[in-house]
């Protein structure tokens, strides 16, 4: 069996493929070009269980493209993934391999891949929540500032 992990960034992605013995078969940084990433994954297509993509701000396009290309895609919930603290060596390559590794072990905390029709509403709701939290933070900050000024007069 083969397992793939993709550490996604704004302009590049690190693609890693491991086998069932955790041997790294492929690990390379590629530009965020769907054709390049698909070509890298197709070369290791036999016995692949799936592809794990790190859930970052720009996952929509890559995940949609991989699904359209016929890959079984899993979205990693990065907030729920905790690597070993105090790792001496860390980096994007290690992160991509780690995603594939926890997928192989069946320990991958998965995020939900929203259908494209629902994404705009989800993004809008998340932005509203962020703005409400910021508003509350600013109100509390101003109230605290005013309370300090009144106390010291």
Residue 28 has pLDDT above 60, yes or no: yes
How far is it, in rounded angstroms, from Cα 59 to Cα 73?
11
- 38 and 86 share a domain? yes
Place of tokens 């995603």: 99
DSSP tag of 83: P
Give yes or no: residues 121 and 150 share one domain: yes
Q: Are residues 40 and 103 in the same domain?
A: yes
Q: Do 72 and 35 sit in the same domain of this protein?
A: yes
pLDDT at position 57 is: 86
CATH code of residue 71 = 3.30.420.40
Is pTM, for the whole model, over 0.85? no
| Residue whose C-alpha is closest to residue 38's, from 49, 25, 51 | 51
Given pLDDT bands bounded at 50, 70 and 90, which one contains residue 153? Answer: low
Residue 86: predicted pLDDT = 53
Q: Do 24 and 37 fall into the same domain?
A: yes
Task: Let me know whether 144 and 128 are in one domain.
Answer: yes
- Give the whole-angstrom CA distance, residue 151 versus residue 123: 42
The answer to whether residues 95 and 58 belong to one domain is yes
90 has a pLDDT exceeding 80: no
**Secondary structure element (H or E) that encloses residue 18, with its range:** strand 12-19
Give the range of the structural domain holding residue 136, as residue numbers without chain letter: 115-153
Could you tell me the pLDDT band of residue 78, with boundaries at 50, 70 and 90? confident
88 and 123 assigned to the same domain: no
Give the tens place of pLDDT for each residue, 46-74.
888 899 999 888 899 999 999 999 999 99
- What strands, in cross-sheet order, belong to the sheet with 24-31? 24-31, 12-19, 2-8, 48-54, 73-76, 110-111
CB atoms within 10 A of CB 97: 21
79 and 63 in a common domain? yes
Alpha-carbon distance of 2 to 136, in angstroms, equals 47
When divided into structural domains, the chain yields a total of 2
Q: Is the pLDDT of residue 84 over 60?
A: no
Same domain, 78 and 136: no
């Amino acid at each position: 069996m083969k397992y793939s992990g993709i550490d996604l960034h704004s302009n590049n992605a690190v693609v890693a493929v491991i086998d069932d013995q955790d041997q790294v078969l492929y690990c390379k940084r590629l530009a965020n070009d769907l054709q390049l990433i698909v070509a890298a994954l197709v070369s290791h297509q036999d016995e692949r269980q799936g592809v794990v993509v790190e859930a970052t701000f720009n996952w929509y396009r890559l995940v949609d493209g991989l699904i359209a290309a016929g890959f079984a895609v899993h979205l990693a919930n990065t907030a729920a993934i905790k690597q070993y603290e105090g790792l001496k060596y860390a980096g994007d390559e290690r992160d991509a391999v780690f995603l594939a590794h926890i997928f192989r072990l069946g320990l991958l905390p998965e995020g939900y891949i929203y259908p494209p029709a629902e994404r705009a509403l989800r993004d809008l709701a998340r932005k509203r929540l962020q703005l409400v939290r910021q508003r509350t933070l600013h109100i509390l900050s101003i109230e605290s500032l005013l309370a300090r000024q009144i106390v010291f007069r």
